[in-house]
Amino acid sequence: MSTALLVLDCQPAVLAALPADADREALLDRLARAAAEVRAAGGTVVHVRAGFTEADWDAVPAANRAFAPIAEYRALHHEDPATAVHERLAPRDGDLVVRKTRFGALSTTGLDRRLRERGVSALVVAGLTTSGAVLSTVLDAADRDYRLAVLSDGVADPDAQAHEVLLRRVLPTRAQVVGTAGLAALLGGG
C-alpha cells in the first residue's frame, strides 16, 4: 500500500486566519516532521493550495456562500505570495503541488488521477482548516475508497469548538484520527 500525506492550505493567507493564540510555529514544525517522515518511508507528499485565476473567479456562482466573496473581492490570486506553500513546508523533489479552487483537495485538481497513477491507496490528511479543506477532503476521499487518517495535531481551525467536534465525532466515522507521533505506525515503521 502506498501512502500520500496531503498538506492542505498551509499558505500564509490561510494561516493568518487562525486565532491569535494558535501556535502556528508548532503546527508548521509538526507538519514539516510529518512530511520528512513520509518521504523517508517512500510515500508521497502533496501540497494542496488554494489559488484563483480570473477565469476561476468568473466561474464561481453567486450562490456559492463560501467562494462568492473570494471571487467578488478577487482574493487569493494564484500568483500572490500569500497563496504560496508556506516556506517552512517548501516542496521538495518528488513532492506534488496542486492548486484548487474549492475546499476539497480532489474535486478541482485532477489529484485523484495522479495519486492512482502512483499507486496511492492511503491518504494521511493534515493542514488547514479542519472545518473546510480537511473535512471536505476526507469526505470526498472516503467516497473514493481511500484508506484515511487525519493527523489530529497536524490540523487547525479558526473555530476551536468546530475543530474539536470534527476531530472527536465526525472525522473518526471516515478516518483514523491519530497524532503525528503515531505516523510511523501508519506508515508501517512502528
**Verdict on whether the full-model pTM lies above 0.95:** yes
For residues 89 and 38, the answer to whether their CB atoms sit within 8 Å is no
Residue 189: pLDDT band (50, 70, 90) is low
Q: How do residues 29-76 score in pLDDT, each as one tens digit?
A: 999 999 999 999 999 999 999 999 999 999 999 999 999 999 999 999
In 20-138, at which residue ranges do the beta strands (DSSP E only) sit? 44-50, 96-100, 120-128
pLDDT at position 36 is 98
Of the candidates 96, 91, 101, 98, the residue with the CA atom closest to the CA atom of residue 118: 96
pLDDT at position 1 is 67
Residue 117: pLDDT band (50, 70, 90) is very high
Residue 190: pLDDT band (50, 70, 90) is low
Of the candidates 137, 131, 132, the residue with the CA atom closest to the CA atom of residue 161: 131
Average of per-residue pLDDT across 180-185: 97
**Superfamily holding 2-186:** Isochorismatase-like (3.40.50.850)
For all residues of the chain together, what is the average pLDDT? Answer: 97
Q: Three-class SS of residue 33?
A: helix
For residues 18 and 128, the answer to whether their CB atoms sit within 8 Å is yes
pLDDT at 14 exceeding the cut of 60: yes
pLDDT at position 125 is 99
Average of per-residue pLDDT across 136-146: 99
Q: First and final CA of the chain: distance in angstroms?
A: 16
What order of strands is seen across the sheet that includes strand 96-100? Answer: 96-100, 44-50, 2-8, 120-128, 147-156, 176-178
pLDDT at position 61 is 98
